[in-house]
A and B are shown apart, each in its own frame.
Chain A
Amino acid sequence: EADIYQTPRYLVIGTGKKITLECSQTMGHDKMYWYQQDPGMELHLIHYSYGVNSTEKGDLSSESTVSRIRTEHFPLTLESARPSHTSQYLCASSGIVTRGPGLAGGETQYFGPGTRLLVL
């Protein structure tokens, strides 16, 4: 079971509000990621981080921003929410894993449960 947490799980908010989606992991992983996923669609990478004080934009342009002040924490902020931001946001982290059933040695991503955001 992956130790990566996201809060809130669900958020309904009005247009123009500032929101922060929290993500934390207790596995000591250096790399962390934010994905956006619409129903029935593939995950799109919007932000990632190699480690503390490192943040990069992903493939999908996003008006959100991220910060990485601590290894375990990777919050995502929207300064002014809009209906077009309605989506599911998934946080992930990655690190070296040991061999186990169905898994090979190497790096794999562990995902949090996601935050479903609805902007009215």
Chain B
Amino acid sequence: KNQVEQSPQSLIILEGKNCTLQCNYTVSPFSNLRWYKQDTGRGPVSLTIMTFSENTKSNGRYTATLDADTKQSSLHITASQLSDSASYICVVSDRGSTLGRLYFGRGTQLTVWP
């Protein structure tokens, strides 16, 4: 069964600290993996997208890694800011259809305290 599991479910950190969010998936075949940021009451916004051959991708203070062999990805946030408080969703796409079906994780709820 194709699944995307994220951990931790929730995380509280102090402003300025770093943190790492995890994503494990069983989706096969694999096309790409995206990390989205979803602010409360808003739609998800794409942060990074990685294909099979890419190991790391950065977008400002966000760095995503991908290990396609172990089917694991992580999102590292450096020097956290209050505005980083949001749900971070891991999304994996398969190659099984022209639609490029997406499998969503439940997200990690990050809270950054001052």
23 A-B residue pairs with CB within 8 Å: A2-B45, A4-B43, A42-B107, A44-B104, A90-B43, A91-B43, A92-B43, A102-B46, A102-B47, A102-B48, A102-B49, A102-B58, A103-B46, A103-B49, A103-B59, A104-B57, A108-B46, A109-B102, A111-B44, A111-B45, A113-B43, A114-B42, A114-B43
Q: Is the CB of B100 within 8 A of A107?
A: yes
B49 engages A108 (CB within 8 Å) = yes
Q: How large is the interface on B (under 10, 10 to 19, 20 to 34, 35 or more residues)?
A: 20 to 34
Q: Does B76 contact A (CB under 8 A)?
A: no
Q: A40-B106, A109-B102 are in contact. Are A101 and B60 (CB under 8 A)?
A: yes
Measured CB to CB, the residues of B under 8 A from A are 4, 32, 34, 36, 41-51, 54, 57-60, 62, 89, 99-100, 102, 104-107, 109
